[in-house]
Structure 1
Amino acid sequence: MIAAGRLLPLLRILSPVLGLAGASLPAAAQVDHDGQLWINATAFGSIGSFAVFAEVQPRFGEGIANLDQLILRPAVGWKITDAVTVYQGYARVENTPLGQRAFAEDRSFQQVGWEIGTVERVKLSSRTRFEQRLQTNGRDTGFRLRQMLRAAVPLTDETRGVAALAWTEAFVALNDTDWGAKAGFDRVRAFIGLEVPLAGKSTVEVGYTNQTVNAPASRVTMDHILSVSLFVRQ
């Protein structure tokens, strides 16, 4: 049986960061809302210290009526320690916004994943990603830094039971580009949901993601996202 008290450590740790979306809104900004569906399938593998992952992410917006974005993202890495893995990866992003011209983005990225440890039954991990972005509607290279903090707390006494899950990720653009990126705060995401174990080490995560984006002309978009993520692990 799930005890409500099991959630208290998770809430104490993440309550400040789960408020980032609201706190990041400029005071005078106009906010546009959208309901979305994001699906993610990621496969992980490793041989010794060598690591690899590949993911595909279709994202539906405009009230989930339109495939706004499709991301293909493979990466290869090296386990420095049992807790720290570094990756070099590439992402191809196809953007098809409703009523606008389609465009694509190519991203090279470097990533550091860190399994921080367990605090008061809460398993903490982080991901730092540095991206170099090129878009077909411009010639500049955009540089962006992303930082994620993830926390999970088991809801049962089983070795691999259901866990409550929350994470937040902040995005900071490091320069202006001719295709629209502006240096400074870019967006922040906050997720809350469940992590459900599958066969072997695989899991599925289902929950709600709030994304707040700093859009042009003093506008802000806030996306309310149903997120379904499948993680297949070796």
Structure 2
Amino acid sequence: MRLEQRGRIKIFMQSFFAIRVRFFGFCACALAGFMIAAPAQAAEHDAQVWTTAAAKLRLDEDWALNLEAQGRFGDDVQRLNETQFKASVLRRVGPGLKIGAGYGHMIKNRAGGPDRHENRIWQELAWKPETGIKTSLSFRTRVEQRIIAGDTGWRVRSRLKATRPLGEGASLYAYGSEEAFFFLNDADWGARSGFDQSRIGAGLGWRFSQMASLEAGYLNRFKPAPDTEDKMNHIIALTVVLRP
């Protein structure tokens, strides 16, 4: 890639990233306001635990393979609501810039009804800029095709994550994240075009070796429901990542 092209990409990503930083701040303020006003709002609250095991495999200098398995426990952590299995490939195309594609199979365990199976395909853009400060920033946008019962819902999800080490050369770090989801079309299985949900989280991570890390934190998921009560999930998120 020529230097001129790389320069244009860098300028575009910096501008786009600045917009996301502002959006991150807006979402954090909006969540704080919602939590203050929560007693006056009609919302269904649920305590959940999400467990994730992931492996990031470097294939060569530019290519990587990611594998992930997830279990989501809900209904006040009384039963397994959903399992997910995902695989994706990523290719580095510039400094801190990667593109990729993936596939996942999701099984939603519905109480009193048959399980719902979903096949999901996605394309993604990931960027980790050099900030020049201790805080590390990463940005990811995915375009998903969610296929359920033969009907496809197109969804865009965009995440911003900030990570900061706790101490000089420390293996412990703090993180915060924000992710917004938007459907691009309606689908027979329930998708409606427009805003789908938001997720805002924070927690601590521990790199206990060069090949493994653990993150534990709180994730707030807000999902509006036009015909019923909005849903507010309070999630303990536990993630183990291996880098063999």
Task: Classify the TM-score, shorter chain.
Answer: 0.7 to 0.9
CA distance in 1, matches of 2:146, 2:179: 18
1:35 to 47, 52, 59: 47
2:160 to 146, 149, 158: 149
2:127 counterpart letter in structure 1: W
2:151 to 119, 129, 140: 140
The residue that corresponds to 1:205 in the other structure is 215
Tell me if structure 2 keeps the 8 A contact 1:20–1:188: no
Q: 3-state DSSP class of the match of 1:117?
A: coil
1:48, distance to aligned residue in structure 2 (A): 1.9
CA distance in 2, matches of 1:23, 1:79: 39
Compared CA separation, residues 96 and 21, structure 1 to 2 (3 A):
farther
1:200, distance to aligned residue in structure 2 (A): 0.9
The residue that corresponds to 1:57 in the other structure is 70
CA distance in 2, matches of 1:142, 1:225: 25
1:106, distance to aligned residue in structure 2 (A): 0.6
1:125, distance to aligned residue in structure 2 (A): 0.4
Tell me if structure 2 keeps the 8 A contact 1:21–1:188: no
Tell me if structure 1 keeps the 8 A contact 2:171–2:208: no
Tell me if structure 2 keeps the 8 A contact 1:42–1:231: yes
Q: TM-score, normalised by structure 1?
A: 0.86
2:152 counterpart letter in structure 1: T
Percent identical residues: 32
1:228 counterpart letter in structure 2: L
How far does the alpha carbon of each residue in 1:8-27 deviate from its partner, in whole angstroms, 9 at most, with x for none? xxxx99554323446689x9
CA distance in 2, matches of 1:116, 1:178: 39
Q: How many residues align?
A: 220
**Correspondence 1:71-220 to 2 at 5 A:** 71-118=84-131, 120-136=133-149, 139-158=150-169, 160-220=170-230
Tell me if structure 2 keeps the 8 A contact 1:117–1:125: no
Q: 3-state DSSP class of the match of 2:146?
A: strand
RMSD: 2.4
The residue that corresponds to 1:4 in the other structure is none
Compared CA separation, residues 223 and 141, structure 1 to 2 (3 A):
same
- Provide structure 2 residue ranges, at least 5 long, that are not aligned to the other structure: 1-21
Tell me if structure 2 keeps the 8 A contact 1:14–1:166: no
CA distance in 2, matches of 1:226, 1:70: 16
Compared CA separation, residues 77 and 224, structure 1 to 2 (3 A):
same
Q: 3-state DSSP class of the match of 2:191?
A: coil
Tell me if structure 2 keeps the 8 A contact 1:167–1:190: yes
Tell me if structure 2 keeps the 8 A contact 1:62–1:98: no
2:196 counterpart letter in structure 1: D
Q: 3-state DSSP class of the match of 2:187?
A: coil
CA distance in 1, matches of 2:130, 2:28: 20
CA distance in 1, matches of 2:30, 2:54: 27
Tell which has more relative contact order, 1 or 2 (C-alpha 8 A, sep 6+).
Answer: 1
Q: TM-score, normalised by structure 2?
A: 0.83
Pairing 1:231–2:241 present: yes
